[in-house]
Amino acid sequence: MDFFRSMKNKIPSLREELNDSEIFKKIYRFAFLFGRQETQRSLELDIAIGLWQLLLPNKFKHLELWCDYLQNEYKRAISRDTWNLLLEFVNTVDEKMTNYDADGAWPVLIDNFVEYAKPIINNEN
């Protein structure tokens, strides 16, 4: 019983650590490795979406739109590069995506998502 009590007492400090961007980035990158099949280089789409729904709900305002886009338009596995750069996208691009640089080094998937999402986001207001 002491073990469970000490674990329960530790949870608030663990949650606090997730606010540290470097710690969160390490956990986020680990999630890709954890979620993929050992023999695969990419992450199955349904697993990637599940992990994003666990990791990004308070960080990515357009998470639901992103997941819908992937399920309805993309329908393929997620590469490690796309996985890693989505976090960069979430951390650097504003909610209206006005500062998105289409000529930047973003994966085509993110470019296509921005093209898809901007009209939807602009119509919400």
pLDDT digit string (tens) for 67-93? Answer: 999 999 999 999 999 999 999 999 999
Predicted local distance difference test score (pLDDT) of residue 44? 96
By residue range, what is the domain housing residue 114? Answer: 1-124
Per-residue pLDDT tens for 32-47?
999 998 889 999 999 9
- Mean pLDDT for all residues in the chain: 92
- Give the pLDDT score at 26: 95
Residue 122 is predicted with a pLDDT of 87
**What is the CATH classification number for the domain harbouring 59?**
1.10.238.200
User: What residue type is assigned to position 105 of the chain?
Assistant: A
Choice among 19-28, 31-40, 88-97, 116-125 with the minimum mean pLDDT:
116-125
For the chain, how many structural domains are there in total? 1
What distance in Å separates the CA atoms of residue 70 and residue 113, rounded to the nearest whole number? 9
Average pLDDT for 10-34: 87
DSSP state letters, 68-113: HHIIIII-S-B-HHHHHHHHHHHHHS-TT-TT--TTSS--HHHHHH
The mean per-residue pLDDT over the stretch 1-30 comes to: 83
- Residue 93: other Cβ atoms inside 10 A: 19
